[in-house]
Structure 1
Amino acid sequence: MTPTGVLEPTGPNRALGGTGWLDRLLSTPVAAPVERSRPLRDIDGYEHRPNPLHARTTAEFLLTMRRYVVWAGDWSYRELEYLCGGAVKHSTFCQVLEGDRLPRYVFLMAFVTACAGEDEAERRRWVTAWHRVRDAAAS
């Protein structure tokens, strides 16, 4: 059965023919996936990884996020979307990272996943900093 047949509850849609636009779209090869390089650590004494724990305000937190993207691999917004498994769209990465509001928790987790992979220590650093900035802004 062709992919167009799946879309019709009564069976294949004969009006589209066997090689409809959806068949052609689904058979189009996609670009090569983005590969995350193995995270390299700076040598001792030359730690350049932006530290979110230094941020005290929302503006400082967002600046640290932008610097972290560059440090992690200078990913484009579309690459970040791919690296977080599509949990956050590239347009949302653009809005948040170029905006002036503290991101939501779900966005933060997608951001850390996109930049650092499954590094649990890195997640804890970012969540701790996020809680600290959010609590300070609420006061």
Structure 2
Amino acid sequence: MSSVNPRLVLRIELQRLLTLRGLYTSEDVVRVTGMARSQVERVLNGNGRVPRHLLDEILQRIDAVQPERRPVVDAWRRLEAARAETEAAAPEPPEAADPAGLHRLREDAAGYTLKPSPLTATSKEEFLAVMREFHIWAGEPSYREIALKARKSVGASTLCEALDPKRPPRLPTLKVVTAFVYGCGGGEEDLTTWTTAWRQVRLARTADPATTARPRYI
């Protein structure tokens, strides 16, 4: 006997709630919530990953109370758990898959210093902004690729939530930062720099500007 599809359960629970509000189509949801059609359809159609912040936005804009939200959110959590389990079971790419080092992270050309420096961050908002810049500088690897390279010490969904600009800013744990930097191809020097920057923000301490110059890039 096959298990129930968690994606189907989420769609059923969400549609049940929308029907109680008299919302039968995606057009109805767009009209009532004022959200973009692409956002609404991404949640309703259930194709690909369903972002929690979009689901919460719909629930909030249709004035769903906590008892109504609970079955929908529980279904979303089961879907995320199933997705994480599938990713964890996926075989890691063999070490010899890139013998020439074609995808190894390379530094900038001589005369160009484009690598974002986390040492410029003095708040969690700035720290997260530099993390997003570093992600771009590293070639924007997928969160799953980062998690695999970091030997799954942190899940892809955790990385995604940590860097989601639409979520309330929250300083990631040092474990998440370490996995992120290593997964983006950073070396020991990068890990030391990011660890120092994380401690600086976490401890709310900054270097004395009269004695220490902190460049925007390193």
By the TM > 0.5 criterion, same fold?
A: yes
2:181 corresponds to which letter in structure 1? V
Deviation, structure 1 residue 32: 5.9
Q: What CA distance in whole angstroms lies between the structure 2 residues aligned with 1:31 and 1:122?
A: 24
From 136, 145, 150, the equivalent of 1:84 is 150
> Gapped runs of 5+ residues in structure 1?
1-28
1:122 corresponds to which letter in structure 2? D
Partner SS, residue 136 of structure 1: coil
Q: What CA distance in whole angstroms lies between the structure 1 residues aligned with 2:179 and 2:204?
A: 23
Q: What CA distance in whole angstroms lies between the structure 2 residues aligned with 1:134 and 1:31?
A: 33
Q: What CA distance in whole angstroms lies between the structure 2 residues aligned with 1:41 and 1:85?
A: 23
Note the alpha carbon deviations across 1:11-51, whole angstroms, 9 max, x for none.
Answer: xxxxxxxxxxxxxxxxxx96966857122211232111111
* 2:92/2:148 contact within 8 Å kept: no
Q: Note if 1:123 corresponds to 2:191.
A: yes
Q: Note if 1:114 corresponds to 2:183.
A: yes
Equivalence for 1:21: none
Map residues 21-36 of structure 1 onto 2, 5 A cutoff.
Answer: none
Map residues 41-80 of structure 1 onto 2, 5 A cutoff.
Answer: 41-80=107-146
Q: What CA distance in whole angstroms lies between the structure 1 residues aligned with 2:200 and 2:144?
A: 29
Q: What CA distance in whole angstroms lies between the structure 2 residues aligned with 1:47 and 1:32?
A: 31
The structure with higher relative contact order (CA 8 Å, sep 6+) is 1
Note the alpha carbon deviations across 1:47-103, whole angstroms, 9 max, x for none.
Answer: 111111111111110010011111112111111111111111111011111141000
User: Would the alpha carbon gap of residues 81 and 45 (structure 1) be closer, same or farther in structure 2, given more than 3 Å must change?
Assistant: same
Q: What CA distance in whole angstroms lies between the structure 2 residues aligned with 1:60 and 1:102?
A: 10
CA RMSD in angstroms comes to 2.3
Runs of 4+ more than 2 Å apart: 29-36
Equivalence for 2:202: 134
> Gapped runs of 5+ residues in structure 2?
1-89, 206-218
1:121 corresponds to which letter in structure 2? E
Q: What CA distance in whole angstroms lies between the structure 2 residues aligned with 1:58 and 1:79?
A: 25
Partner SS, residue 86 of structure 1: coil
Equivalence for 2:171: 102
Partner SS, residue 78 of structure 1: helix
